[in-house]
Structure 1
Amino acid sequence: MKDISGHIQIKDMKLNVYEYNTIIIGSGAASLNAADTLYKLGQRDIALITEGMNRGTSRNTGSDKQTYYKQSTTIKDEDSPLKMAQTLYNGGGMHGDIALVEAALSLKGFYNLINIGVPFPHDEYGQYVGYKTDHDENSRASSVGPLTSKYMTEKLEEQVKKNQTDIFDQFLVIGILKDEENEEAIGILAVDKKNIDHNYGLTVFNCTNIIFGTGGPASTYYRSVYPKRQSGSTGIALEAGVKGHNFTEWQYGIASIKFRWNLSGTYQQVIPRYISTDEAMEDEKEFLEDYFDNPTDLLNAVFLKGYQWPFDPRKLLNNGSSIIDLLIYIETQIKGRRVFMDFRKNPSCADKDGVFNFSLLGKEAYEYLSNSNALLDLPINRLIKMNPLAIQLYKDHQIDLETEPLEIDVCAQHQNGGLVGNTWWESNVKHFFPVGEVNGTLGVYRPGGTALNSTQVGSYRAAEYIANIYTQKPLMINEFEEKVSNQLHQKLDFIQGIQLDESNTFDLIQFQESLQMKMSKYGAFIREISSIDKTIKELNETFNHLNELIQIKTIKELPTVFNIYDMIITQITLLNAIKAYIDQGGDSRGSYLVHHKEGQYILDYEGLKVQYALENTMEDKICEVQVKKGGKGLEVYQNWNQVRPIPNYDSWFENVWHSYRENKIYS
């Protein structure tokens, strides 16, 4: 570990300062790959900072068959970077030049993972065969099972530790420090959680570059698939003036809530029973049967949730699969009941003496189960046959699907938007590179698995640019102190304004959860403008008086305060983006439903009345947002940009070779 480079005096505190060319923040697949790539490209003056090496989404989440999406490598599909880029671009809300980079470098990232030991399967001819995923016609998807991203992070971490890269573990970043005159990132302020009793643990990093790989804003919603220990740090980047875009775009879908996990694939294809209960788990009811006119429509809708996991407003029509999500929302958010998937029994409409009536299934569902040799009596037996690891996964988390129902809800799973980056993943704030989920590259309708590809492509691009262009040492410490002193004072003033009382009964987590619950009810996949406006006002009021509202018993609660601080900035920005989209006349799209008073489609069922349209989805435009602190607190500015097309240029080899030799590709 590098020695302390010096100190900065703030009020009566002398803060330690470390100096590096590049600080990488986060410990997921994007940050670890950035650190390893920088090392391989020759930039060794780097350090990785993480709140916890094992806390993030990459390490702790997955799905039935977690997908890595890349250009096809088999004779089964004719493919090219341009063809893959066109698929990404056609999803809407994605810039064409970004799509081309993500396609062109997809195989580089994929083969790097293979070379460091991630066991993606290939056939006897060496072909890394693939399968089709949602929103794609080619077989570009690959997987190493439900924990693909976990294997990725483990192998990448091995590389980073082998490189002996400095790692600052248990450090929470609470501020991006800038040269405000030149709009450049020049450092960070972090809390050393292990030494929080001394100077609040405040530690300063003076650096030339920041690679920001903190994952999605995991604490935004109460109903969430993100690991409970992950919070995200999108808010502090927004606070520093980093622009965001496509903040409206998330994926929401059915997930378990005790152990947070997506319930896609075989969990749905075995067709379990859906039930709701009161809070005490009494008054059990199979609530789906009240909506569907016949058993075949019900069973097919459940089966299709395996393929069509994210909520999609286009799949509400004609008893489509997304009706399931909406019926769960009615039970949990309107009726206040609890909802479960029960693998021990068949849906009553298809059960006769404990045996499933397969004649009620549509052709697709029947053939799938038949081809899987899973025409068995009960959902749990069908699951044992097709995917026993799916059962073991829950057993490993003290949930036995063979003996108990599984509590679920419609949860936020992934943000497709995020912070802005160019084709080298550098933001509008120079020397600041958001990578992975925190970077908003993915648009409206993305093929499944593109998120994992994006972690590797974006982090490689940032590292390549830094290693070739931004190689200078950080500022001299006296110049650095002059530029960041006011920013450090503001953070310290906020900390010292927090009410500290060992005898108080204020519950920080309960306070945070109350704000998250509002977001899950009003700012998730059901969106209505008056509720959005009201929630924005309430959150602004909360943020403006945060010091007065919260109390802590001990200084060790300070990291939770800053998680809440970051969360509220993100929530306010997200809601303002949603409001901007609706104000522009935007209709339902992606993974959310927008109330539209003149919409041609109407859903009126058990307390939920939604009128919506699908016409004006504005997929050729992107809403860019920027946060500024004003007299009334946070002010969020919006700007609508036309989506950039896929580049069309003459890629003559000699010309490319010349530009590459002269480093002109980076200009």
Structure 2
Amino acid sequence: MYKGQITINNIPINVYEYNTIVVGSGAASLNAADALFKLGQKDIALVTEGMNRGTSRNTGSDKQTYYKQSTSIKDADSPLKMAKTLFNGGAMHGDIALVEAALSLKSFYKLIDIGVPFPHDTFGQYVGYMTDHDENSRASSVGPLTSKYMTEQLEEEVRKNGTDIFDRFLVISILKDEFNEEAVGVLALDIKNMDEKNYGLSLFNCRNIIYGTGGPASIYYRSVFPKSQSGATGIALEAGVKANNLTEWQYGIASIKFRWNLSGTYQQVIPRYISTDMDMNDEKEFLGDYFKNPTDLLNATFLKGYQWPFDSRKLTNNGSSVIDLLIYIETQIKGRRVFLDFTKNPSCATVSGGLDFNLLGKEAYEYLKNSNAFLKTPIDRLAKMNPLSIDLYKKNNIDLEKEYLEIDVCAQHQNGGLAGDIWWESNLKNFFPVGEANGTLGIYRPGGSALNSTQVGSYRAAELIKNKYYQKPMELDKFITKVNNQVMRKVNLIERIKIEDHKKSNLIEFQERLQKEMSKIGAFIRDKQKIEKGLIMLNKTFKEFTDLVYINDLKELPTVFRIYDMIITQIACLSSILEYINKGGDSRGSYLISDEDGLYEIRINDMVLKFSLEKDFRDKICETVIDENDGIDVFHNWVDVRPIPEYDSWFENVWEEYRQKKIYN
């Protein structure tokens, strides 16, 4: 609630007090707020840059997946079995894998209870399908907008609860008791009320922070994250919050005019891949430069539907990830544009305007046959198997029946992120990163496990707060004393920003230059020397930040802070990548590390890429912390993954520990 106004360095600042501040408005944050309320902790507020801006609300795929323990009669499943699947993906702590598995059904059924229409059969079974890196049929879906439905229903619950919502507030600093390494509040910009008197600065004094700001969406230029999503990993790192697995991302083919993942039937209908010059001239079907056999080209395209993320293990033997690499060469090296054409078949397999289905491999042939999709063109096949996928683009002013769809290989999801324990509490006490901001997931996660993690992690944080951290925040005078210097550091940053009211600000071009460089050197193709040069450039940029940027109006301050956060995150991620390479790590997950002594090679015309796959350090996690002085100093620590807890639990003992709240210690 509003506690009044205080003055710091002659700047009047509004102050609010709550037991818990939930930052963000995606599936994780909204579930945290709802769970807290229903557990009985109602002294809470949700602070968001924009209720409708997040990734959960604005992204999806061909069939967006929710991954949970199987409930089908044909699958023998258990929390332990599911935990082993998560854990076996590598670089994931076993105790966290067990929590995500054990609470998956509780979280899944809650979503059903509040109105998310996951399908079940006549007998009430929520039957599923098998997703990537999965041995059971654990996946369910509401279609391409699963996370949007989740977010909408969760928001409805939060609003029914009457929880205070501070919309259009951008958090710019995590405030802490520096002596005890304990989170005590946040500093935010009230975007609707910024002026020269106080810049819109607002203080939130709280006992706990649940941090659901999403992945660091802005660090790449080639990205499927919505443009409205930026993330705020950087200011958490700045506050001393530990991160892990910052090396681990997923990258995949996506459209770039309207940002959307192009998995599933978008590939299984076997569209034509073409590249052009920047003016859309000099059209060329470039996949034929590598795939000399039409069957190999068709199969790789079809398998992109199942194997949508780039996977370094799928580069050999004409694997599907060669397509991602070929797109990278066209866009990043040759400076061309790449498109999918659904109106024509690949020319190498075209007979009388139709597709020669006899050239397909067995899997692709049987899939299209069973789908009754032996039709003339890719758009005909798409209309048969997934008409909603065409409608989706029409609603975004792209007609796949008439025009090319521009694409690239884009950052899609960060598996790493801020670290937390089995209650999602970080090394900074009372600070809980949840959702994609939290780095629970390892190298190879099953598709849809990220959505489950948003719900499990946010519930766990809420449960711990209700049972352990339920106290009121500290007295206002004590709070101001502890955070005064931290607030002043941000005020000083604001006052050093140049306002050039006679010309347009340079923020957008400044940001895009850094994003393009990150996409070139720190995405799914990684080279040690280029990363070293990139780090030198970024550190210099951070030190000179206020000399390099200028704004036209004070209203652009939020963008300044988003870029500030982005640079910190870029430095931390690139440093983690370099640390992995220096340790001797080979290509793994969704990226390739260029290695002149590599055991494998890909030859495309006069270009040769060598890489290895043996040393993937899947039994370890790289933890990362930063120290901000004149620049950003990054430190890394390698730890062994914790095993999955396996023990004989005795009900009477569990009941006693639960009643006495020993489980929260």
* TM-score, length-scaled by structure 1: 0.99
Contact 1:355 1:378 in 2 (8 A): yes
SS in 2 for 1:280: coil
- After superposition, residues 211-610 of structure 1 pair within 5 angstroms as 211-606=210-605, 608-610=607-609
Counterpart AA for 2:334: K
Contact 1:330 1:607 in 2 (8 A): no
Aligned to 2:21: 23
Contact 2:61 2:262 in 1 (8 A): yes
Contact 2:22 2:212 in 1 (8 A): yes
Contact 1:183 1:430 in 2 (8 A): yes
Counterpart AA for 1:501: E
Contact 1:50 1:168 in 2 (8 A): yes
Q: Which moved more, 1:496-505 or 1:318-327?
A: 496-505
Identity among equivalent positions (%) equals: 71
Contact 2:622 2:638 in 1 (8 A): yes
Distance 1:345 1:596 in 2: 38
Counterpart AA for 1:531: K
SS in 2 for 1:317: coil
Distance 2:83 2:291 in 1: 39
1:577-610 CA-to-partner distances (Å, cap 9, x unmatched) read: 0000000000000000001222111123246432
Aligned to 2:10: 12
Distance 1:298 1:273 in 2: 10
Distance 1:72 1:532 in 2: 42
1:536-573 CA-to-partner distances (Å, cap 9, x unmatched) read: 00000000010000000100000000000000000000
SS in 2 for 1:142: strand
Distance 2:189 2:603 in 1: 50
- Aligned mate of 1:644, from 642, 655, 663: 642
1:471-498 CA-to-partner distances (Å, cap 9, x unmatched) read: 1100100000000000001100000000
Aligned to 2:123: 125
Aligned to 2:622: 623
SS in 1 for 2:183: strand
Aligned to 2:48: 50
1:86 paired to 2:93: no
Distance 1:258 1:48 in 2: 31
Q: Tell me the C-alpha RMSD between the 2 structures.
A: 0.7
Counterpart AA for 1:203: S
Counterpart AA for 1:109: S
The CA deviation at 1:504 is 2.9
Distance 1:143 1:225 in 2: 20
Distance 1:389 1:648 in 2: 45
The CA deviation at 1:506 is 3.8
Distance 2:470 2:364 in 1: 57
Contact 2:298 2:360 in 1 (8 A): yes
Distance 1:217 1:433 in 2: 16
Counterpart AA for 1:146: P
Distance 2:139 2:279 in 1: 42
The CA deviation at 1:321 is 0.1
Distance 1:488 1:292 in 2: 58
Size of the aligned set, in residue pairs, is: 664
Distance 1:76 1:372 in 2: 23
Counterpart AA for 1:208: R
Distance 2:308 2:167 in 1: 35
Counterpart AA for 2:170: L
1:427-474 CA-to-partner distances (Å, cap 9, x unmatched) read: 000000000000000100000000000000000000000001001100
Distance 2:462 2:565 in 1: 26
SS in 1 for 2:219: coil
Contact 2:245 2:622 in 1 (8 A): yes
Counterpart AA for 2:450: A
The CA deviation at 1:9 is 1.5
Counterpart AA for 1:87: T
The CA deviation at 1:10 is 1.3
5+ residue gaps in structure 2?
none
SS in 2 for 1:319: coil
Distance 1:315 1:169 in 2: 44
Distance 2:357 2:557 in 1: 57
Contact 2:289 2:604 in 1 (8 A): no
1:32-62 CA-to-partner distances (Å, cap 9, x unmatched) read: 0000000000000000000000001100000
Aligned to 1:41: 39
- Aligned mate of 2:146, from 144, 148, 164: 148
SS in 1 for 2:172: strand
SS in 2 for 1:34: helix
Distance 2:34 2:598 in 1: 51
SS in 1 for 2:512: helix
Aligned to 1:159: 157
Counterpart AA for 2:294: P
Counterpart AA for 1:476: E
Counterpart AA for 1:659: E
Counterpart AA for 2:253: I
Distance 2:621 2:205 in 1: 34
Contact 2:183 2:429 in 1 (8 A): yes
Counterpart AA for 2:383: I
Distance 1:606 1:208 in 2: 60
Contact 1:527 1:594 in 2 (8 A): yes
Contact 1:504 1:551 in 2 (8 A): no
Q: Which moved more, 1:18-27 or 1:192-201?
A: 192-201
The CA deviation at 1:6 is 2.6
Distance 2:340 2:227 in 1: 22
SS in 2 for 1:219: helix
Distance 1:205 1:103 in 2: 34
Counterpart AA for 1:436: G
The CA deviation at 1:353 is 1.9
Distance 1:596 1:616 in 2: 12
Distance 1:159 1:94 in 2: 32
Distance 2:70 2:514 in 1: 43
SS in 2 for 1:569: helix
Distance 2:431 2:505 in 1: 37
The CA deviation at 1:280 is 0.4
Counterpart AA for 1:280: D
Counterpart AA for 1:172: L
Q: Which moved more, 1:603-612 or 1:18-27?
A: 603-612
Contact 1:196 1:556 in 2 (8 A): yes
Counterpart AA for 2:513: S
Distance 1:244 1:131 in 2: 33
Contact 2:289 2:605 in 1 (8 A): no
SS in 1 for 2:171: strand
Distance 1:49 1:439 in 2: 18
Distance 1:371 1:482 in 2: 69
Distance 1:200 1:610 in 2: 50
- Aligned mate of 1:658, from 620, 633, 656: 656
